[in-house]
Amino acid sequence: MLSLAQLSPGHRARILQIPPEKKRLLALGLRPGAVVEILLKAPLGDPLEVRAGEAYLLVRRAEAKGILVEALSVAEPHELPPVRPTR
Amino acid sequence: MNCPRCDPPDNAALEAPSTRTKRWALVGGPNTGKSSLINALAGSQLSVGNWPGTTLERLSARLDLGPTQVELVDLPGTYSLLATSPEEALVARELLQHPPDLVLNVLDAGNLERSLVLTLELTELGLPMVLVVNLLDEAEAKGLKVDLEALEEALGLPVAGTVASRGQVAAVLPKAKEARIPSPKVRYPEPLEKAVDHLGPWIPNRGLALLALMGEENLPLSQEALEAVQRARESLKRMGHDPYLLALEGRYQKAREVYERAVHRQGSSAPLTERLDRLVLHPLLGLPLFLLALFLTFRFTFALSAPWVDFIGRTQEVLAGWSGALPLPPLLRSFLAEGLVAGVGTVLAFTPILFLLYLALAFLELSGFLARMAFVADRAMQWAGLPGKAFIPLVLGFGCNVPAIYATRALSHPLDRLRVALAIPFLACGARLPVFTLFAFVFFPQQAPLVVFGLYLLGLLVGLLTAFLLGRVLRADRGEGAMELPPYRFPPLRLLLRLSSARTGSFVQGAGGPILLAVLAIWGLLHIPLLGQSPYALLAQGLTPLFRPLGVEDWRLVGALIPGFVAKEVVVGTLGVSFLGGETLAPMGLWEGLRNLGEGLVQATQGTLQGLTSLLTVNLSLTPEPTPLQAALKEAASPSGALAYLVFVLLYTPCVSTLAALRQVVGLRWSALAVGYQLSVAYLLALLAHRVVP
């Protein structure tokens, strides 16, 4: 199974499983069933910026490894169509 | 939907005339604009203090509503009553143990779904509530239209829409009059509902019962109730249910339902925040931009305050000169000039620095930049087991430890705050530099810059190691580094100014007394004769044997460390006096003093303007002019003794003001421990330095 840490910027995924003791991640909105999008990686490669709903979150790699997901789009980031319609 | 045990809506509590001050608590997620709201509602009445028994900042304001007085209290931002940090734990503790007269639940209109999750949790507590949907402007920019009436209908609670940053808060007070105790809104999956029912006899409050079931440990419950909770949790787990996930699921489902009724999407564009982040957090540009922002913060704080610190120093000289001209006994003149004026001056000299630091920090925090800086620095800070935000206080520490310690308040976890605050005193602040350069040029003329740089590095290493080890000792699990990156915002200037002045005021109130006392004590030590000798000389000579193993054998060197405990700025001056003889206090006439002050004011203003235009420049001067003191010092120690002395000066307690700041940020017990730790580390490493250098 994929973990959130294995995805690259531009990818979207649905969270399948997250350790229930990770209360802060859960409270921030990273819960089973939520759809997330990887926006970018920090200049030093860690952490990740992730969008969950309307929230922008910083998630460390070490923690992203514990979040199991299914990828929703597998295209290369620059080939991705805009995620949201532009006006 | 309604729970049968809950009280019917009750307005009586709010309308009953009462002369006592009512408490309204602002509860909401982080970055929902609660401080903007309190500022817009109460204007200049903002005050900053600590929560009783804690070192967490408490922002409050008074509100005069005709017959009643209201105290508005800003509770720390939280996503849930089930705490993931002690700061969040305070929210549940306050609401349960000191129930406010009204809960103003602040919601982010741009992220209503997640805001509603907390709202739903709050409705279970049985407290009078009103909802404030803030940041309507941001929601609109995102293409979201919030239907406030639909929200009122869906939740059965009054809802006020606001844009607090622009002062649009008129709806809040009328709606607050309609506040009522809500009925719980979430129907949880059957096993969880059963467990709540089952706990009824011990815990009648539904919210409390749910918190207990979800695993919150610090609740005001009897032993019997706790045992019942334990049994219920175990039986749920046996059925394969995690009570926390069940409750969260129930709330998210309901929040989604309400959200869909109340929020309408009118097309959308990639938000500005997302586009700005691509630039600010760019893989290549991100790091230089981060360093630039760090540098600007540092320069803003220290370069712009320097002229005013000088001005305060000058005022101090004038006041001292005036007291020197008074027809009083010499000892009393000296007490006024070198004790009282110097003490008050020491406290006030920090106010320009702190005000500007607080201004810079509040701007960074409320604009969203602080979170981005934390994002960039996070990887580097993980080595020391610290969050990214810890970078900023650490960098400020090289300017001055006092504002740096206060800057740790931007860290959301008190344990991180403690670790960084205890690391900061080891960082070589600007006041230590004159001591370093003086000794380095006397004893290591060839490698002076290298020695000074090495000292800076040593301070940083000891500081980081302290933070790292303290983390290991105090916490087995490393906690979670995840945090939210709030949208970029223009914080209202008035709020920034008010917050900064309230926080600076809190420094003067809380730290001013102890600093003044310490300066007076040192004055007494230096000036009140004891058995025909100065107690300073006696003490210094008494301490000298302790420093012999470090290769420091001259009592005058040891003696200078004593006032150095109050402020490192005075170490060089004290050495000058004890090696070369004292300087006399120059009395000053009234007009001479006034002229002096006037000149100082002009210079300070000019300096600030120059500082503004040269924020990006650096000046590093390391070469001191040759002085008689240098020649005198040469004879006082060996190079290895001098190095040990420098290491000791670097690492022992930096100044009494740092201690006063520590006491305000981490409490008395930790500050006392810190002093012992600093002295031992300084001594051991100085000993090592003496042994290593031939």
Tell me if A43 and B286 make a contact (CB, 8 A cut-off): yes
pTM to 2 decimals? Answer: 0.85
Do B149 and B298 lie in a common domain? no
Task: Looking at the complex, report in whole angstroms how far the Cα of residue A39 sits from the nearest Cα belonging to chain B.
Answer: 8
Instruction: Please state, rounded to an integer, the average pLDDT across all residues of chain B.
Output: 88
- pLDDT value at position B142? 86
Task: Looking at the complex, report in whole angstroms how far the Cα of residue B285 sits from the nearest Cα belonging to chain A.
Answer: 8
Tell me if A53 and B114 make a contact (CB, 8 A cut-off): yes
Residue B271 clears pLDDT 60, i.e. is over it: yes
The total number of structural domains in chain B stands at: 2
CB-based burial, B247-269: b 16+ in 10 Å, e otherwise: bbbbbbebbeebbeebbeeeeee
Residues 6+ apart with CB under 8 A from B109: B133, B134, B135, B136, B138, B139, B144, B146, B161
Question: What share of residues in chain A are helix, strand, coil (percent, to 5)?
Answer: 20, 35, 50
Locate the chain B residue with the closest alpha carbon to A45. B379
DSSP string for B45-114: GEEEEE-TTS-SEEEEEEEEETTEEEEEEEPPP-S-SS-SSHHHHHHHHHHHHS--SEEEEEEEGGGHHH
Task: Looking at the complex, report in whole angstroms how far the Cα of residue A5 sits from the nearest Cα belonging to chain B.
Answer: 14
Contact yes or no for B113/B256 (Cβ under 8 A): yes
Locate the chain A residue with the closest alpha carbon to B32. A55
ipTM above 0.90, yes or no: no
Task: Looking at the complex, report in whole angstroms how far the Cα of residue B239 sits from the nearest Cα belonging to chain A.
Answer: 16
Residues 6+ apart with CB under 8 A from B254: B116, B120, B185, B186, B187
Chain A residues whose beta carbon lies within 8 Å of the beta carbon of residue B273: 56
Domain that holds residue B151: 12-177
Contact yes or no for B686/B647 (Cβ under 8 A): yes
- For the CA atoms of B580, B584, B588, B593, the dihedral, rounded to the nearest 10 degrees, stands at 40
Residue B222 lies in a domain: no
Report how far residue B208's alpha carbon sits from residue B34's, in angstroms, rounded to the nearest whole number. 25
Residues 6+ apart with CB under 8 A from B596: B314, B317, B318, B588
What is the tens place of the pLDDT at every residue in A34-45?
999 999 999 888
Chain A residues whose beta carbon lies within 8 Å of the beta carbon of residue B379: 42, 44-47
Nearest to B482 among A54, A58, A82 (CB): A58
Which H or E run contains B131? strand B129-134
Angle at B405 between CA B400 and CA B409, to 5 degrees: 140
- pLDDT value at position B477? 53
Q: How distant, in Å, are the alpha carbons of B207, B445, B672 from that of B437?
A: 62, 10, 30
Chain A residues whose beta carbon lies within 8 Å of the beta carbon of residue B277: 39-40, 49, 56
Residue B619, SS3? coil
Tell me if A43 and B487 make a contact (CB, 8 A cut-off): no
Task: Looking at the complex, report in whole angstroms how far the Cα of residue B245 sits from the nearest Cα belonging to chain A.
Answer: 7
Residue B578 lies in a domain: yes
Report how far residue B4's alpha carbon sits from residue B173's, in angstroms, rounded to the nearest whole number. 31
Bridge partners, residue A49, by sequence:
A40, A58
Which of these three, B177, B193, B221, is where a domain ends?
Answer: B177
Q: Looking up tokens 């009204």, which residue turns up?
A: B102
Report how far residue B577's alpha carbon sits from residue B216's, in angstroms, rounded to the nearest whole number. 61
Give the range among B71-80, B88-97, B467-476, B617-626 with minimum mean pLDDT: B617-626
The strand pair at B46-50 and B57-65 is best described as antiparallel
Locate the chain B residue with the closest alpha carbon to A43. B283
Residue B409: both structure tokens together: 């308040």
Range B68-90 average pLDDT:
88
CB-based burial, B513-543: b 16+ in 10 Å, e otherwise: ebbbebbbebbebbbeeeeeebbbbebbeee
Tell me if B375 and A47 make a contact (CB, 8 A cut-off): yes
- Residue from A12, A16, A17, A28 whose CB has the most chain B CBs within 10 Å, to mutate: A28
Tell me if B480 and A51 make a contact (CB, 8 A cut-off): no
Nearest to B484 among A26, A57, A85 (CB): A57
- pLDDT value at position B650? 96
Chain B residues whose beta carbon lies within 8 Å of the beta carbon of residue A85: 267-268
Task: Looking at the complex, report in whole angstroms how far the Cα of residue B282 sits from the nearest Cα belonging to chain A.
Answer: 7
Give the range among A64-78, B9-23, B527-541, B658-672 with minimum mean pLDDT: B9-23
Task: Looking at the complex, report in whole angstroms how far the Cα of residue A40 sits from the nearest Cα belonging to chain B.
Answer: 8
Tell me if A54 and B114 make a contact (CB, 8 A cut-off): yes
CB-based burial, B74-109: b 16+ in 10 Å, e otherwise: bbbbbbbbbbbbbbbbbbbbbbbeeebbbbbbbbbb
- pLDDT value at position B229? 95
Q: Looking up tokens 């996930």, which residue turns up?
A: B245
Question: How confident is residue B8, by pLDDT bands cut at 50, 70 and 90?
Answer: very low
Radius of gyration (C-alpha) of chain A in whole angstroms: 12
Task: Looking at the complex, report in whole angstroms how far the Cα of residue A68 sits from the nearest Cα belonging to chain B.
Answer: 16
Tell me if B378 and A60 make a contact (CB, 8 A cut-off): yes
* Among B109, B146, B123, CA closest to B250: B123
CATH fold of A2-75: SH3 type barrels. (2.30.30)
Tell me if B277 and A51 make a contact (CB, 8 A cut-off): no
**Alpha helix ranges (H) inside B160-222:** 172-177, 190-199, 206-214
Residue B175 clears pLDDT 90, i.e. is over it: yes
Nearest to B252 among A31, A60, A82 (CB): A31
Bridge partners, residue B159, by sequence:
B131
Residue B77 lies in a domain: yes
Tell me if B482 and A59 make a contact (CB, 8 A cut-off): yes
What is the tens place of the pLDDT at every residue in B161-174?
999 999 999 999 99
Tell me if A43 and B290 make a contact (CB, 8 A cut-off): yes
What is the tens place of the pLDDT at every residue in B28-74?
998 899 989 999 998 777 887 777 776 678 889 999 888 889 999 99
Which H or E run contains B25? strand B22-28
* Among B18, B39, B11, B25, CA closest to B362: B39
Contact yes or no for B435/B575 (Cβ under 8 A): no
Instruction: Give chain A's contact residues with B (Cβ, < 8 Å).
Output: 20, 22-32, 39-47, 49, 51, 53-60, 62-63, 82, 84-87
Q: How many residues can be counted in chain A?
A: 87
Cα-Cα end-to-end distance for chain B = 82
What is the tens place of the pLDDT at every residue in B447-485?
888 898 899 999 999 999 999 999 888 874 555 678 899
Angle at B605 between CA B602 and CA B606, to 5 degrees: 85
Range B515-523 average pLDDT:
88
What is the residue extent of each domain of chain A? 2-75
DSSP B327: S
Question: How confident is residue B255, by pLDDT bands cut at 50, 70 and 90?
Answer: very high
Q: For residue B132, which phi and psi values (nearest 5 degrees)?
A: -120, 110
Residue B469 lies in a domain: yes
Chain B residues whose beta carbon lies within 8 Å of the beta carbon of residue A59: 482
Give the range among B106-120, B224-238, B379-393 with minimum mean pLDDT: B379-393
- Give the CATH number, domain containing residue B165: 3.40.50.300
- pLDDT value at position A54? 86
Residues 6+ apart with CB under 8 A from B360: B297, B300, B301
Chain A residues whose beta carbon lies within 8 Å of the beta carbon of residue B486: 56
Residue B259 lies in a domain: no
Residues 6+ apart with CB under 8 A from B198: B228, B232
Report how far residue B192's alpha carbon sits from residue B203's, in angstroms, rounded to the nearest whole number. 14
